[in-house]
Amino acid sequence: MDNFLLLITKPDNVPILAMLFLIPFFIWLAYKQARQTDLTGVPSDAALNDKVYVWPYLCRNEFICAIIIMLILGVWSIMIDAPLEEMSDPAKTPNPSKAPWYFLALQEMLVYFDPWIAGVVLPGLIIVGLIAIPYIDINPKGKGYYTIKERPFALAVFSFGFIVLWIVLMIVGTFLRGPGWNIFMPWEYWDPHKLVPLTNVNLSYLFGIRDDMTANFFGFAVVAGYFALGPIFYFWKLKSSKFLQELGLVRYVIVSSLFLCMMALPIKMILRLAMNVKYVWVSPWFNI
């Protein structure tokens, strides 16, 4: 418990503590407005053609906002000092060594995937995926106002990625990861000698496969089968779904691959936490 208090009062953890309140607040604010639109319909043109002068109306708002934020920043800077530990020493590795808080979701992914996936491929896909969003979301509705009804799929996917896979993992990484990158609950003592027995096994092992060659083949089949879900769904639904027809093949391939890659993280987390699965696919060149 003392340890947890120490952790939440660490100056560098103040931003993430603030996020704990800011994120729910803004979700609530957005939800309120979305429900309003979904109940009463999108505001009419007449109300929107109403223009106002930037000076003084917008400039006044900007000015007030800037003053409030500067006040908060001023108080924050007077009250809380930036941390400065001992001088750096390459020979003294702290345990745990943590990246800055905004990268902790990435560091958390390292538990579940090898560094080349968690540290390079997945971050790369996040960037590519974010940039691709406007080009693969062809739904013309819900532009410029809050709504849930008009774009439920887009909202669900993005919110899951942003809130659960980014923010929550960041919070877990900051507050619950201790020495050896083990999970410590707030009331637990950070025991640097805590040993978690590593009984993780590969998925093929769980299926009774003992021979490397077969295991390699099995892993390949599982991963390929997972990514085949995309095409299977496409050909199954194409005839009946107007949405899929409008989306087109190229966009569909991008959407489904990005989606499957994103969902691979929670799936691997569940496999690891529930069944102690280490790797799904062990090949001579890489492991997934």
Partner 1 sequence: MNEERKGLIDKITNSDIWKSIFRHGYEKTGRRYTLQVLQNVWLHLHPPRISRHALNFRFTWCMGGITFLMFLVTAVTGVLLMFYYRPVAEYAFRDVQALEFDIPFGMLLRNMHRWAAHGMVISVMLHMFRVFLTGSYKKPREFNWAVGVILLLITFFLSFTGYLLPWDQLAYWAVTVGTNMARATPVLGHEGPFAPADIITQSNDVRFALLGGTIVGPSTLLRFYILHCIAVPLVASLLMALHFWRVRKDGGISGPL
Identify residues 139-198 at the interface with partner 1 (CB under 8 A): 139-147, 151, 154-155, 158, 162
Q: Which is nearer to partner 1, 77 or 214 (CB)?
A: 77
Distance CA 93, CA 264 (A): 32
**DSSP secondary structure letters along 159-225:** HIIIIIIIIIHHHHHHHTB-GGG-B--TTS---TT-------B-HHHHTT---HHHHHHHHHHHHHH
188 with 7: CB under 8 angstroms?
Answer: no
Bridge partner residues of 201 (DSSP): 277
Q: Which is nearer to partner 1, 113 or 252 (CB)?
A: 113
State in angstroms the smallest separation of the CB of 99 from partner 1: 5
Stretch of 79-87, 231-239, 241-249, 255-263 lying at the interface with partner 1 (CB under 8 A): 79-87
Distance CA 233, CA 211 (A): 33
Q: Which is nearer to partner 1, 94 or 197 (CB)?
A: 94
Distance CA 287, CA 173 (A): 24
Bridge partner residues of 148 (DSSP): none
Q: Which is nearer to partner 1, 2 or 50 (CB)?
A: 50
Binder among 21, 94, 193, 199 for partner 1 (CB under 8 A):
94
Q: Under 8 Å CB-to-CB from 132, ≥6 apart: which residues?
A: 254, 258
Q: Which amino acid is at 262?
A: M
* 91 is a contact residue toward partner 1 (CB under 8 A): no
Q: Which is nearer to partner 1, 24 or 231 (CB)?
A: 24
State in angstroms the smallest separation of the CB of 263 from partner 1: 19
Positions 8 through 27 that interact with partner 1 (CB under 8 A): 12, 14-15, 18-19, 22-23, 26
Positions 47 through 66 that interact with partner 1 (CB under 8 A): 47-59, 61-62, 65-66
State in angstroms the smallest separation of the CB of 5 from partner 1: 19
Q: What is the DSSP letter of 176?
A: T
